[in-house]
Structure 1
């Protein structure tokens, strides 16, 4: 593929700045206890709905139109941060993530709408089941096997009022990845 005419894209639900700040503080507490090679920059926190990969740049406006239409027809979702988890081999996980709770059914429906809208543009749905989460770190880097029981030592942070971190998700965003940059994700605008 000619990289000049292609950009690396994905569709996601953005996270409000106040929630990103709280998660950043939480990640700073977690980092010394879980040696992952790469921690996500707080500006890059999001909930992926569909990874599109290398995409012809001239297709971006059409994708954005489809996402705008879905956003107009969708109700806002109330989402909450949920406990930590991992993907990958249990002794050496590839991803450390924070779960998402709240209107997860609505989030699944939104994800399916995005997938259906993008099929006519040539994007194929992922084979694995959609599991709403927020990636915090990648590539566990210790020779000592990962101890999942330690995840519960870091409960989900609370708001200043003592409630779980909750927010309203009312938009879908098209992001571009810049693999050798931090932060690495950029909102695609028309």
Structure 2
């Protein structure tokens, strides 16, 4: 069984709690096969896949150095969205307002991973928090429902403080185990 690793921006505990309530109310409206455990909510920065320890150590080292100059920053969750087919989405997510700081942190983590020998996917970065997977509704998914039930009409704001290396445990819930934490510098 392959273990997968990925770097992600951690969501603060209180935000996971708020999202847990939001997910609970969305579950009633939206028939998705699996809903993400609140502890597993995150923003993926780089998916490493199955990774040898030496490469991870090299990447960790580079990321630590790169993030030393990054400070904590504000992020805002403001929308719902989907990936996959419009009528039967594969991924249902909470989206974020455009953030230069988030893009910079992601670039640092991405470059550090590539420099350490990881082959990463090159799709453009589209920051999101996956909340559910695989539409199983009897009827086609309707995009306007997302606007109707959008719980983020009042934007949810939080401070990004840490990048985490997670290890995936398939078949477990929660399934992501934090392995290494990288704190961003506090704003003085």
**TM-score surpassing 0.5?**
yes
Deviates more, 1:129-138 or 1:163-172: 163-172
Give the Cα separation in 2 of the matches to 1:154 and 1:71. 36
**Which of 111, 123, 128 is the equivalent residue of 2:123?**
128
| Root-mean-square deviation (Å) | 1.8
**Which of 69, 73, 76 is the equivalent residue of 1:77?**
73
1:7, 1:56 within 8 Å by CA — same for their partners in 2?
no
1:96, 1:138 within 8 Å by CA — same for their partners in 2?
yes
Q: How many angstroms does 1:157 deviate by? A: 4.5
TM-score, with length taken from structure 1: 0.88
String of CA shifts for 1:56-110, please: whole Å, max 9, x gaps: 13433332222222221112221011110000010110000000116x1211121
SS at the partner of 1:137? strand
SS at the partner of 2:90? strand
Q: Which residue does 2:142 correspond to in 1?
A: 147
Residue 169 in 1 paired to residue 164 in 2?
no
1:43, 1:183 within 8 Å by CA — same for their partners in 2?
yes
String of CA shifts for 1:147-173, please: whole Å, max 9, x gaps: 110111223358xxxx63211112211
- 5+ unaligned residues in a row in structure 1: which ranges? none
**Which of 20, 23, 26 is the equivalent residue of 1:24?**
20
| Structure 1 residue ranges, 4+ long, deviating more than 3 angstroms after superposition | none
- 5+ unaligned residues in a row in structure 2: which ranges? 182-188
1:7, 1:57 within 8 Å by CA — same for their partners in 2?
no
